[in-house]
């Protein structure tokens, strides 16, 4: 199957027929269907399937007779709630298509080429982004990962076990890391930073997720006097407004995109509100200062309203500078394409702590991502496949 057929096969999986966004959360039925698709594509090409200890999938084109570690490509198959079609799957589909082109052109790799589908990249189910690559690289402890819970209260350990992965075996995998010489992840560009079909990533800015738990007192909407209320929605509202102001002051970006209100009734003062703050920026100190200022404002407003607030850092990634030699080699192979930074997180960013990693970006004409309008033209996708093919030929053949 060529790129376009593979793309068409994957397109309906997990798509909301109304709004058009994707809901492919790790180990839920649509994401499992994507995993089955991955396994079918791997087997159809005679690639060796590897399920690692951390829920990640790999398809290897083995070459035999070499000790040289492989060149890994691929990306992820899960999505954010209501996400676009390209974030993740474009890198996986392009990887299969690139292997097809290498074979059609008679390439004979001297070292293995692998395709990865990393688990729970978006953290949409268990809250921590890039969970599969964090575990593989040792960036999160197995204990913490095992205890992460989804919305229904199911732990990561339970879900892994239900899908055939031993939760006691998760964690940094030096054997697998030792078999990966480098990683080149292809991805849709997620803003308006690229005005040619393909570019190379320079860096990922610092970013993290913080959880604010506001606890007040549930009560009746009609019988509780204003002065008797301990309404957690009030300091939460201050927190949202301060998130925007603090970002503007510090030159950062903040987003409150997920909220849980308990019990979530129209005529009940909530007993608790949990809100997640996504914070990103050009430098660690600016991001840290932003979060500290939002926390201070939340604390002050909470005090005013008789509510408590707890802050927990769920994940944080410092600035990632991709491997400069690999990055320059990609740019040279592709004839001087632009090198651009990004505000989006990626498995290639997490794994940069363990091995040389680099990324290729494909132009996104809408500039929209994590939403249904995310897009790329077929011509640009095919240019991405050609670029990845050239890079794999350079690195592995």
* Residue ranges that bind ligand GLV, judged by CB under 6 A: 122, 129, 344-345
Nearer to Mn ion, 165 or 234 (CB): 234
| Per-residue binding letters, 44-83, with Mn ion (x by CB under 5 A) | ----------------------------------------
The residues in 228-247 that bind Mn ion, with binding defined as CB under 5 A, are: 234
Q: Encoding tokens for residue 37?
A: 């698709």
Least distance to ligand GLV, CB of residue 13, Å: 19
Least distance to Mn ion, CB of residue 235, Å: 7
Q: Which residue has the tokens 């991805």?
A: 187
Choosing from 88, 127, 197, 202, the residue that interacts with Mn ion (CB under 5 A) is 88
Among ligand GLV, Mn ion, none, what binds residue 159 when CB lies within 5 to 8 Å by partner kind?
Answer: none
Instruction: Choose among 324, 364, 393: nearest CA to 86.
Output: 364
Nearer to ligand GLV, 51 or 211 (CB): 211
DSSP conformation class of 147:
H
Q: Which residue has the tokens 């999986």?
A: 13
Q: Encoding tokens for residue 181?
A: 């010489």
Among ligand GLV, Mn ion, none, what binds residue 129 when CB lies within 5 to 8 Å by partner kind?
Answer: ligand GLV
Nearer to ligand GLV, 52 or 122 (CB): 122
Choosing from 52, 78, 87, 150, the residue that interacts with Mn ion (CB under 5 A) is 87
Least distance to ligand GLV, CB of residue 344, Å: 4
Among ligand GLV, Mn ion, none, what binds residue 88 when CB lies within 5 to 8 Å by partner kind?
Answer: Mn ion
The distance of Cα 156 from the centroid of its chain, to the nearest Å, equals: 17
Long-range contacts of 300-303 (CB under 8 A, 24+ apart): 300/238, 301/234, 301/235, 301/237, 301/238, 301/239, 302/214, 302/232, 302/235
Instruction: Choose among 167, 187, 42, 59: nearest CA to 121.
Output: 187
Nearer to ligand GLV, 122 or 380 (CB): 122
Residues of the shown chain interacting with Mn ion in the complex, contacts defined by CB under 5 A: 87-88, 234
């Amino acid at each position: 199957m060529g790129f376009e057929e593979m793309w068409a096969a994957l397109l309906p999986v997990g798509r909301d027929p109304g709004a058009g966004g994707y809901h492919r959360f790790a180990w839920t039925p649509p994401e499992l269907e994507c995993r089955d698709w991955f396994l079918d594509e791997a087997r159809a090409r005679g690639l060796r399937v590897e399920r690692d200890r951390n829920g990640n999938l790999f398809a290897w084109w083995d070459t035999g007779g070499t000790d040289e570690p492989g060149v890994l490509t691929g990306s992820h198959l899960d999505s954010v709630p209501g996400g676009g079609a390209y974030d993740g799957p474009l890198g996986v589909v392009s990887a299969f298509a690139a292997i097809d082109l290498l074979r059609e052109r008679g390439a004979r790799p001297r070292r293995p080429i692998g395709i990865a589908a990393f688990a729970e990249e978006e953290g949409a189910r268990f809250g921590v982004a890039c969970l599969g690559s964090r575990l593989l690289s040792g960036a999160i402890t197995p204990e913490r990962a095992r205890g992460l819970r989804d919305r229904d209260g199911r732990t990561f350990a339970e879900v892994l076990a239900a899908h055939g992965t031993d939760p006691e075996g998760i964690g940094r995998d030096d054997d697998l890391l030792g078999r990966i010489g480098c990683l080149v992840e292809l991805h849709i560009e997620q803003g308006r930073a690229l005005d040619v079909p393909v570019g190379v990533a320079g860096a990922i800015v610092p970013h993290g997720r913080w959880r604010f738990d506001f606890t007040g007192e549930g009560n009746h909407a009609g019988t509780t006097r204003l002065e008797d209320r301990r309404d957690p929605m009030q300091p939460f509202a201050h927190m949202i407004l301060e998130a925007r102001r603090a970002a503007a002051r510090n030159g950062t970006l903040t987003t409150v995109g997920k909220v849980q209100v308990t019990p979530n009734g129209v005529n009940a003062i909530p007993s608790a509100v949990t809100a997640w703050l996504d914070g990103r920026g050009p430098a660690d100190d600016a991001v840290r200062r932003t979060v500290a200022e939002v926390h201070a404002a939340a604390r002050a407003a909470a005090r005013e309203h008789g509510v408590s607030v707890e802050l927990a850092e769920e994940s944080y990634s410092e600035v990632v500078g991709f491997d400069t030699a690999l990055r320059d080699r990609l740019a040279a192979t592709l004839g001087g394409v632009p090198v651009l930074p990004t505000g989006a997180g990626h498995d290639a960013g997490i794994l940069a702590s363990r091995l040389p990693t680099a990324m290729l970006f494909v132009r996104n004409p809408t500039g929209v991502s994590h939403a249904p309008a995310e897009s790329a033209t077929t011509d640009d996708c095919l240019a991405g496949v050609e670029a990845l093919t050239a890079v794999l030929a350079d690195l592995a053949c």
